[in-house]
Amino acid sequence: MNTASEEYPRWSPAGEDFGGPVVMDDAFAACRSANRLPYLAVADVDTAAATAQEAGGELLMPPTSVPAGQRIAVVRDPRGAVLGIHRTGDQG
Protein backbone atom coordinates (compact mmCIF):
# COMPACT_ATOMS: atom_id res chain seq x y z
CA MET A 1 0.00 0.00 0.00
CA ASN A 2 1.30 3.42 -0.92
CA THR A 3 0.23 6.26 1.33
CA ALA A 4 -0.20 9.43 -0.67
CA SER A 5 -1.39 11.41 2.35
CA GLU A 6 -2.01 10.68 6.00
CA GLU A 7 -5.69 11.61 5.62
CA TYR A 8 -6.40 9.13 2.84
CA PRO A 9 -4.22 6.06 2.34
CA ARG A 10 -4.46 4.59 -1.16
CA TRP A 11 -3.49 1.30 -2.74
CA SER A 12 -1.43 1.90 -5.84
CA PRO A 13 -0.26 -1.28 -7.56
CA ALA A 14 2.38 -0.51 -10.17
CA GLY A 15 2.13 3.19 -9.26
CA GLU A 16 -1.46 3.52 -10.52
CA ASP A 17 -4.19 4.68 -8.11
CA PHE A 18 -6.44 1.72 -7.42
CA GLY A 19 -8.42 2.41 -4.26
CA GLY A 20 -8.43 3.27 -0.61
CA PRO A 21 -10.52 3.11 2.55
CA VAL A 22 -13.45 5.36 3.35
CA VAL A 23 -15.82 5.50 6.33
CA MET A 24 -19.12 3.98 5.17
CA ASP A 25 -21.53 6.24 7.08
CA ASP A 26 -25.32 6.54 6.64
CA ALA A 27 -24.90 8.11 3.19
CA PHE A 28 -23.65 4.70 2.02
CA ALA A 29 -26.42 2.61 3.63
CA ALA A 30 -27.60 1.25 0.26
CA CYS A 31 -24.21 -0.18 -0.65
CA ARG A 32 -22.80 -1.27 2.72
CA SER A 33 -23.49 -4.95 2.19
CA ALA A 34 -21.24 -5.07 -0.88
CA ASN A 35 -18.17 -3.86 1.05
CA ARG A 36 -16.77 -2.63 -2.26
CA LEU A 37 -17.64 0.46 -4.23
CA PRO A 38 -16.86 0.30 -7.95
CA TYR A 39 -15.52 3.49 -9.52
CA LEU A 40 -15.85 4.63 -13.11
CA ALA A 41 -13.37 7.06 -14.66
CA VAL A 42 -14.89 10.22 -16.15
CA ALA A 43 -13.40 13.29 -17.79
CA ASP A 44 -15.13 15.73 -15.38
CA VAL A 45 -16.56 14.59 -12.03
CA ASP A 46 -18.73 17.68 -11.52
CA THR A 47 -20.33 17.36 -14.95
CA ALA A 48 -20.85 13.60 -14.59
CA ALA A 49 -22.44 14.03 -11.15
CA ALA A 50 -24.79 16.73 -12.47
CA THR A 51 -25.69 14.57 -15.46
CA ALA A 52 -26.46 11.62 -13.17
CA GLN A 53 -28.80 13.81 -11.10
CA GLU A 54 -30.51 15.21 -14.21
CA ALA A 55 -31.11 11.63 -15.37
CA GLY A 56 -32.90 10.76 -12.11
CA GLY A 57 -29.94 9.59 -10.04
CA GLU A 58 -29.16 10.62 -6.49
CA LEU A 59 -25.94 12.25 -5.36
CA LEU A 60 -24.76 10.39 -2.23
CA MET A 61 -21.43 12.21 -1.96
CA PRO A 62 -20.97 15.48 -3.83
CA PRO A 63 -17.88 16.02 -5.97
CA THR A 64 -14.96 16.24 -3.55
CA SER A 65 -11.23 16.68 -3.96
CA VAL A 66 -9.43 14.00 -1.94
CA PRO A 67 -6.36 15.42 -0.15
CA ALA A 68 -3.33 14.76 -2.39
CA GLY A 69 -5.59 12.70 -4.66
CA GLN A 70 -8.27 12.71 -7.30
CA ARG A 71 -11.67 14.37 -7.47
CA ILE A 72 -14.42 11.86 -6.66
CA ALA A 73 -18.19 11.60 -6.12
CA VAL A 74 -20.67 8.82 -5.32
CA VAL A 75 -24.02 8.45 -7.10
CA ARG A 76 -26.99 6.07 -7.04
CA ASP A 77 -28.79 5.45 -10.30
CA PRO A 78 -32.62 5.40 -10.54
CA ARG A 79 -32.62 1.58 -10.11
CA GLY A 80 -30.53 1.70 -6.93
CA ALA A 81 -27.03 0.85 -8.20
CA VAL A 82 -24.35 2.78 -6.31
CA LEU A 83 -21.01 3.67 -7.84
CA GLY A 84 -18.19 6.12 -7.45
CA ILE A 85 -16.84 8.32 -10.18
CA HIS A 86 -13.34 9.76 -10.39
CA ARG A 87 -11.45 11.96 -12.78
CA THR A 88 -9.47 10.19 -15.48
CA GLY A 89 -5.75 10.68 -15.92
CA ASP A 90 -3.26 11.89 -13.39
CA GLN A 91 -4.46 15.48 -13.08
CA GLY A 92 -6.07 14.90 -9.68
pLDDT of residue 17 exceeding 90: no
Half-sphere exposure of residue 22: CA atoms within 13 angstroms, side-chain side: 21
Name the residue ranges covered by the structural domains of the chain: 25-87
Q: Judge if pTM exceeds 0.85.
A: no
- At 55 the pLDDT is 94
Kindly report the average pLDDT of the chain as a whole number: 77
Q: Residue 51: pLDDT band by 50, 70, 90 thresholds?
A: very high
Contact call for residues 24 and 32 (beta carbons, < 8 A): yes
Q: What CATH number should be reported for the domain whose range is 25-87?
A: 3.10.180.10
Q: According to the model, what pLDDT value does residue 33 have? A: 58
